[in-house]
């Protein structure tokens, strides 16, 4: 097998037949396979099976009941299932033109690089398929921020956000990947140094269906970028920082209305305890939930610990205000910073501890080493 073409899909039924037709034509004369890794809720799996029955090359379907890691997780699953070490990743909406595949494969075949990136921003590449000027601006700004955060590993990449690339699977340490959404190339390139080449391409309009871009995907990208750059502890810190800001605003608002600062601190603490739990569930410890206890038991442990911590922290804050005459807002901020480290350790080792008999996750191993990524970020 010369190449395994991995296509992660989510509700792309109208595009499957045309994609297979154009890919088949593009790889004519090569031993190739197409692997659809599908998270769809529509009839995409049925369409893939029907198209596969008459396709001129092998078409395989992996339909995932558990959508672990989003699109990035689907690509990693495709890597594991591929029959060839040369893996080409492309979207299922035909915004990545299959006619560019031979050029990507020919560049990879020279053997002097590990990754060949199809770039919208190199040479004659274009991004005309983006929906509007706002998306073009967001794309370019996101690319600039990403390259600024990884100036060494991404120095030779103009488009680290693309989903169209060829990689030698043997160069990837699959067990180190922690896919969190749709920017799997960024996840790959940020983990280690690769030899990289680029091929320009025109980012086309969707063949059919609707774009999956959303505000939530934007949040996922931000959390992915933060986790790659700084580690899980920093994500926890971001959530804690947002909670601290909300807490301070609540204390300020209530005390301005004449509410006693202790009562204001209690209200602020309860609101942020609940809000922080929802955020860390979604963005920080999402990859550890499957091996941990139930969500309600996790909430009970988190809520109970944070309230116990607050029972200790608030009297200390009161002592700082009454004895040392520190502003109540400043005292609240100081105690929240001190509490951060205790909260992180408790949540990583207790709230999200694997159930008895469950195999500890790789993420937990990282946490038990005091968040290796945070301590060894790799580059400045």
C-alpha–C-alpha distance, residues 26 and 215, integer Å: 35
The pTM of this model reads 0.59
- Are 10 and 45 in contact, with CB atoms under 8 Å apart? no
> Domain range for residue 117?
3-226
298 and 178 assigned to the same domain: no
194 and 244 assigned to the same domain: no
Alpha carbon separation from 365 to 225, 294, 349, 371 (Å, rounded): 21, 20, 10, 9
Residues 6+ apart with CB under 8 A from 253: none
Q: Is residue 107 part of a domain?
A: yes
Q: Look at the chain and report how many structural domains it folds into.
A: 2
C-alpha–C-alpha distance, residues 369 and 281, integer Å: 21
44 and 101 assigned to the same domain: yes
Residue 330's pLDDT is: 84
51 and 95 assigned to the same domain: yes
Burial code (b: 16+ CB inside 10 Å, e: under 16) for 185-221 equals bbbbbbbeebebbbbbbbbeebeebeeeeeeebeebb
156 and 292 assigned to the same domain: no
371 and 251 assigned to the same domain: yes
Look at residues 176, 195, 226 and tell me which one is the last residue of a structural domain.
226
Look at residues 199, 226, 253 and tell me which one is the last residue of a structural domain.
226
205 and 338 assigned to the same domain: no
- Are 74 and 182 in contact, with CB atoms under 8 Å apart? no
Q: What is the chain's pLDDT, residue by residue, as a tens digit (380 residues)?
A: 899 999 999 888 999 999 999 999 999 999 999 999 998 888 999 999 999 999 999 999 999 988 777 788 889 999 999 999 999 999 888 889 999 999 999 999 999 999 999 998 876 656 554 545 665 666 677 777 676 667 667 778 888 888 899 999 999 888 877 766 557 888 888 778 889 999 998 887 654 545 444 445 555 566 656 666 556 666 777 887 888 788 889 989 999 998 888 888 888 888 888 988 898 888 777 777 777 888 898 899 888 888 888 788 778 888 888 888 888 778 877 887 777 777 777 787 788 877 765 555 555 454 444 433 333 333 32
209 and 252 assigned to the same domain: no
Residue 79's pLDDT is: 94
331 and 312 assigned to the same domain: yes
């Amino acid at each position: 097998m010369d190449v395994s073409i991995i296509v992660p899909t989510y509700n792309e039924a109208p595009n499957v037949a045309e994609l297979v037709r154009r890919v088949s034509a593009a790889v004519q004369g090569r031993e190739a396979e197409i692997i659809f890794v599908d998270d769809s809720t529509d009839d995409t799996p049925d369409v893939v099976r029907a198209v596969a029955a008459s396709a001129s090359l092998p078409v395989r379907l992996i339909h995932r009941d558990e959508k672990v890691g989003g699109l990035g997780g689907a690509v990693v699953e495709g890597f594991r299932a591929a029959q060839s070490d040369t893996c080409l990743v492309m979207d299922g909406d035909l915004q990545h033109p299959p006619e560019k595949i031979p050029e990507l494969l020919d560049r990879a075949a020279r053997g002097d690089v590990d990754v060949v990136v199809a770039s919208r921003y190199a040479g004659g590449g274009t991004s005309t398929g983006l929906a509007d000027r706002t998306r073009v601006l967001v794309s370019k700004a996101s690319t600039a921020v990403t390259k600024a955060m990884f100036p060494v590993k991404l120095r030779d990449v103009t488009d680290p956000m693309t989903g169209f690339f060829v990689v030698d699977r043997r160069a990837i340490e699959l067990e180190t990947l922690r896919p969190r959404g749709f920017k799997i190339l960024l996840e790959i390139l940020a983990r280690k140094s690769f030899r990289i080449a680029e091929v320009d391409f025109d980012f086309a309009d969707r063949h059919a269906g609707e774009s999956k871009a959303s505000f939530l995907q934007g949040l996922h990208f931000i959390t992915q970028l933060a986790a790659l750059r700084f580690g899980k502890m920093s994500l926890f810190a971001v959530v804690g920082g947002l909670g601290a800001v909300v807490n301070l605003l609540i204390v300020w608002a209530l005390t301005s209305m004449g509410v006693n600062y202790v009562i204001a601190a209690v209200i602020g603490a309860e609101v942020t305890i609940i809000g922080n739990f929802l955020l860390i569930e979604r963005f920080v410890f999402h990859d550890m939930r499957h091996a941990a206890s139930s969500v309600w038991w996790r909430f009970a442990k988190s809520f109970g610990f944070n309230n116990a911590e607050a029972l200790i922290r608030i009297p200390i804050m009161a002592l700082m205000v009454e004895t040392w005459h520190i502003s109540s807002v400043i005292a609240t901020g100081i105690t929240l910073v001190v509490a951060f480290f205790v909260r992180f350790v408790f949540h990583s080792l207790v709230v999200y501890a694997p159930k008895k008999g469950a195999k500890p996750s790789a993420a937990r191993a990282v946490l038990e080493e005091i968040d290796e990524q945070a301590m060894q970020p790799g580059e400045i």
